[in-house]
Structure 1
Amino acid sequence: MTTNPSAPRGAALVTGAGGALGRAIALRLGADGFAIGVLGRESDFLRETASLLQAQSIPHRVLPVDLRDGTSIDSALTEVESELAPLAAVVNNAAIYPATPFLDITQDEYEDVVRVNQTAYFLTAQGAARRMVDRGAGAIVNIGSITFHGGWANLASYVSTKGASVGLTRALARELGPSGIRVNGVSPGAFPTKAEEIHENPAEYNRFVIDRQSIKRRGTDAELAAVVSFLVGPDSAFLTGQTINVDGGWIME
């Protein structure tokens, strides 16, 4: 296994790192001292994330992976450890979100969402934990969504998988805590990302969001990444099994 002296905190793997939130998380954790494995579908967006990491001299590897393929996920974890550093943190962030009325969702569409948003989270966390347990340390963060807490029309597949991420977070925190592995979640609110393309009227949706938030502005990618940074860092050493809503005060529970 290669130990990279320029990554004093070990390696962090971020799935879905080609998207806005995943990119912000990767850049923040890189700035925090982690070497970064950026994992996701092969795309210009993933390559852009890698370019930004390179520009900041952050050790990284680009890992184009189909998250529907469990073998590919495990191979990516192995590559991170062999090419970068021992795996210290994993952020399960990748997700797909087809907007389809519940009565029109096909079994194939539902199962596709489950494979990416739920099964891949399970397999990535499992593969990471198997590597972390012998070291007695590690942090896993599962990115959920406030849609689970409030429900959302036309997104039944997505919302149900995001609820599963909360359940997985709690179960793994209970089971892995004795091995020194902490597992927490983050439920983002309505951050202005590419996902908003599912809404027909962006201006109307923006007003909808602001009306429901206590903080009357949209959140930034960097603000979400800061919470993930906290959850994988030493200041949250006594925190596990929690899912934090980062939503400007939309959902309070």
Structure 2
Amino acid sequence: MTGNGVTGSDVPYEKVAVITGAGGALGRATALRLGADGFAIGALGRKSGELDETAAQLVAEGVPVRVLEVDLRDAQAIEAAITATNADFGPVEALVNNAAIYPSTPFLDIPLAEYDDVVTVNQRGYFYAAQVAARSMVERRSGAIVNVGSITWNGGWSNLASYVSTKGAAVALTRALARELGEFGVRVNAVSPGAFPTKAEEIQGDAAEYSAHVIEHQALKRRGTDAELAAVVAFLVGPDSSFVTGQTINVDGGWIMK
């Protein structure tokens, strides 16, 4: 784990959030929204350049931020990053498990090493980040965890069996943790994004063709924005959802309705 230090004012802060994959489009939008809502941000991710861009945007908005370059394959780095955020800003009140990898390979051709890698990042990484963050949340009898799933687990997507299975696991983990941690005042929910126009769409081929495919399947005939997903995450970690736990909200323009 590497970090670039803290940008902000005095500690501790009343609200502190850790976001994994904070350098990507959805993670950055979430960081900016939670920052606007008064959270100090621990921005975790693998690519320092993307994280630095997230940090620069947060700093421009006056949001305290700590950038932590972390590979979710490294459990010790995950723990160190959350511990560092606690030390810099105060107790973590919200965790957003957002980072994921998504290799596109036909099921019959997926090497076991590729599958193991996806599970390590998308499933074990979520599990361990939640476990580390929840320990202090349980002590304080307060906290919120949001796991970012995907609508792909509802209907299956070709060539993404490893990714889809881990996103189903994220929903299952959400329900298990909500049940177990509820008595301690810790809420756990999930959001399942639809097809947002991010770098992940590069695996789908022609961008215009895929966008038309998305809009055809959605009830709302436009593409969603990163800020719209971030708004749902903000709701789930904020006070307006204080009696909501164990739920999965599809943020997909009405593609999946169940």
- Answering whether residue 204 of structure 2 is matched by residue 199 of structure 1, we say yes
Does the 8 Å contact 1:6/1:59 carry over to 2? no
Residue 178 of structure 2 is aligned to residue 163 of structure 1: no
2:93 alignment partner, SS class: strand
1:61 counterpart = 2:61: no
**TM-score with structure 1 setting the length:** 0.97
Size of the aligned set, in residue pairs, is: 252
* 2:226 is aligned with 1:221: yes
Establish whether residue 47 from structure 1 lines up as the match of residue 55 from structure 2: no
Separation (CA, whole Å) in 1 of partners of 2:96 and 2:114: 24
Please report how far the alpha carbon of residue 49 of structure 1 lies from its aligned counterpart in structure 2 after TM superposition. Answer: 0.3
Which residue of 227, 231, 256 corresponds with 1:251?
A: 256
Instruction: Provide the rounded CA distance (Å) in 2 between the counterparts of 1:11 and 1:100.
Output: 38
Task: Structure 1: state its 5+ residue gaps.
Answer: none
114-123 vs 6-15, greater mean Cα deviation:
6-15
Paired residue for 1:97? 102
For 1:106, the equivalent position in structure 2 comes to 111
RMSD: 1.5
Letter in 1 for 2:20: T
The answer for the alignment partner of 2:158 in structure 1 is 153
Alignment of 1:165-180 (within 5 A): 165-180=170-185
Give, in whole Å, the separation in 2 of the partners of 1:59 and 1:213.
37
Cα distance in 1 between the residues matched to 2:210 and 2:142: 42
For structure 2, the residue ranges without an aligned partner over 5 or more in a row are 1-8
Write out per-residue CA displacement over residues 14-47 of structure 1, whole angstroms, 9 at most, x where no aligned residue: 0000000000000100110010000010331111
Contact 1:93 1:143 in 2 (8 A): yes
CA shift for structure 1 position 5:
5.9
SS at match of 1:87: coil
Per the normalisation by structure 2, the TM-score is: 0.95
* 1:150 CA drift (Å): 1.1
Instruction: Specify the alignment match of 2:217 in structure 1.
Output: 212
Distance 1:7 1:46, change over 3 A: same
The separation in 2 between residues aligned to 1:7 and 1:218, in whole angstroms, is 39
Q: Is the 8 A contact 1:169 1:183 kept in 2?
A: yes
Shift of 1:8: 4.9
Gap change, CA 1:219 and 1:9, over 3 Å in 2: farther
1:85 Cα deviation (Å)? Answer: 1.9
Instruction: Give the whole-Å Cα distance in 1 for the aligned partners of 2:202 and 2:12.
Output: 37
- Offset at residue 80 of structure 1 (A): 0.3
* CA apart distance, 1:7: 7.1
Cα distance in 1 for partners of 2:251, 2:149 equals 10
Pair 1:116–1:181, CA change in 2 (3 A): same
- Kept in 1: contact 2:12–2:88 (CA 8 A): no
1:32 maps to which of 23, 30, 37: 37
C-alpha deviation, 1:9, in angstroms: 3.6
